């Protein structure tokens, strides 16, 4: 085995005990978080559960918003990426992006003020929320990227001393709900996810999706 491969395997072994430890990124020096997962273990799930060759997850930088808009679809004149980045700038969220080969392949936003739906705010307003989780293009799904984003979000909340984290899942998305259950999330509150966007003609579209807010409580052993 070559030295490079031994170093990579050593790093992966270390991450079995300490998954998602931070490392420095030359591309985004101001990013607080960067994770490398996988590396030369093609076709196998690594300790972190990610099947693609290599991936990093980092906070979104301002200059990356346009790239996200090009690669990852979002409705409306002001893209959801721009809005998520603006909230990050304001300090109310952390916008995480997964990168593979220089392309964004997924993202999610940790909203520190919790889910905005009044039904959820009333009961779980102090529970940070993973919002807008998605993996693109579709061919990249089911390879562990979504799970890696969720784990990264959980780690952020833990580092801030949080004891739990939540996310909303559409009632018509049983596969996603199954994934969240597997990762330790439990149904906590039904709610209507109300959101709107303005199309290129300036028309505002109101959307309301029936969802369930699911919560994961962190265990003392870090699971």
Ligand X SMILES: CC(C)(COP(=O)(O)OP(=O)(O)OC[C@H]1O[C@@H](n2cnc3c(N)ncnc32)[C@H](O)[C@@H]1OP(=O)(O)O)[C@@H](O)C(=O)NCCC(=O)NCCS
38 binds ligand X per the rule CB under 6 A:
no
Interface pick for ligand X out of 68, 96, 120, 135 (rule CB under 6 A)? 135
Stretch that binds ligand X, among 33-41, 74-82, 152-160, 175-183 (CB under 6 A): 175-183
Interface pick for ligand X out of 5, 89, 92, 142 (rule CB under 6 A)? 142
- Dihedral over Cα of 100, 102, 108, 112: its sign: positive
CB 44 to ligand X: min, Å: 14
Nearest to 64 by CA among 83, 78, 82: 82
Q: Kindly compute the dihedral angle of the four CA atoms of residues 175, 149, 136, 94, in this order, to the nearest 10 degrees.
A: 120
CB 125 to ligand X: min, Å: 20
Interface pick for ligand X out of 91, 175, 200, 221 (rule CB under 6 A)? 175
Number of chain residues interacting with ligand X (CB under 6 A): 17
CB 167 to ligand X: min, Å: 7
* Closer to ligand X by Cβ: residue 7 or 208: 208
Q: How many whole angstroms separate alpha carbon 100 and alpha carbon 50?
A: 12
Q: Please provide residue 116's backbone torsions phi and psi, each rounded to the nearest 5 degrees.
A: -80, -15
Interface pick for ligand X out of 82, 173, 181, 197 (rule CB under 6 A)? 173
222: CB partners within 8 A, 6+ apart:
158
CB 174 to ligand X: min, Å: 8
Phi-psi sector, 39: left (phi>0), alpha (psi -120 to 50), beta: left
Structural contact between residues 180 and 170, judged by C-beta atoms closer than 8 angstroms: no
CB 4 to ligand X: min, Å: 27
């Amino acid at each position: 085995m070559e030295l490079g491969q031994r170093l990579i395997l050593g790093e992966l072994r270390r991450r079995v005990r300490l998954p998602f430890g931070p490392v420095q990124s030359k591309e985004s020096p101001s990013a607080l978080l960067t994770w490398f997962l996988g590396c030369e273990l093609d076709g196998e799930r690594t300790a972190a559960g990610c099947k693609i060759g290599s991936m990093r997850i980092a906070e979104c930088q301002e200059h990356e918003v346009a790239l996200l808009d090009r690669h990852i679809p979002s409705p409306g004149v002001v893209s959801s990426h721009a809005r998520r980045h603006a909230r990050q700038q304001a300090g109310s969220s952390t916008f995480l992006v997964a990168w593979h080969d220089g392309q964004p392949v997924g993202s999610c936003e940790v909203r520190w003020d919790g889910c905005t739906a009044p039904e959820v705010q009333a009961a779980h307003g102090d529970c940070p929320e993973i919002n807008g989780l998605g993996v693109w293009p579709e061919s990249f799904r089911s390879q562990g990227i979504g799970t890696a984003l969720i784990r990264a979000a959980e780690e952020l909340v833990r580092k801030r001393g949080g004891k739990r984290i939540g996310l909303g899942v559409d009632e018509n998305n049983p596969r996603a709900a199954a994934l969240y259950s597997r990762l330790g999330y439990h149904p906590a509150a039904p709610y209507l996810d109300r959101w709107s966007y303005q199309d290129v003609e300036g028309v505002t579209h109101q959307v309301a999706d029936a969802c369930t807010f699911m919560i994961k409580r962190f265990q003392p052993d870090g699971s």
